[in-house]
């Protein structure tokens, strides 16, 4: 759980850094938008979030994870279609 929360935090920081790096390269050469300190740190943080996500989800079986995910989506969809009363409103 700690890894997944840290993934969310690192993703947010990396998006901000990527935007700062893009703004710093405004009006300069195209390559400078990709090769500056902020952008390189942001892409490194994206790599770190990928590794943390893989590590956090390594013990969850993929078919179990997908089964729970799609069952939740299906039940939410059925709830929206039938409404709280349980009767078809369409």
Say whether both 54 and 71 belong to one domain. no
Say whether both 75 and 65 belong to one domain. yes
Distance between CA 61 and CA 39 in Å, rounded?
34
| Number of H-type helices and E-type strands within the chain | 3, 0
Query: For residue 32, what pLDDT is reported?
Result: 73
User: 3-state DSSP call for residue 49?
Assistant: helix
Q: What is the mean pLDDT of the chain?
A: 75
User: Band of the pLDDT at 84, cuts 50, 70, 90?
Assistant: low
What does the block give as tokens for 9?
């935090």
- 39 vs 24 pLDDT, higher one: 39
Say whether both 55 and 32 belong to one domain. yes
Query: For residue 2, what pLDDT is reported?
Result: 76
The answer, yes or no, to whether residue 76 has pLDDT greater than 80, is no
pLDDT in tens, 46-75: 999 988 888 877 776 655 555 665 565 555
Query: For residue 6, what pLDDT is reported?
Result: 84
65: containing domain: 60-90
Number of domains present in the structure of the chain? 2
Query: For residue 90, what pLDDT is reported?
Result: 47
Distance between CA 12 and CA 31 in Å, rounded?
24
Say whether both 53 and 13 belong to one domain. yes
């Amino acid at each position: 759980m700690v890894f997944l929360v840290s993934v969310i935090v690192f993703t947010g920081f990396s998006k901000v850094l990527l935007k700062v790096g893009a703004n710093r390269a405004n009006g300069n050469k195209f390559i400078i938008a990709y090769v500056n300190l902020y952008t390189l740190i942001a892409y490194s943080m994206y790599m770190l979030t990928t590794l943390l996500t893989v590590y956090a989800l390594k013990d969850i079986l993929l078919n179990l994870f997908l089964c729970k995910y799609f069952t939740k989506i299906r039940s939410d969809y059925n709830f929206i279609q039938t409404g709280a009363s349980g009767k078809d409103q369409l």
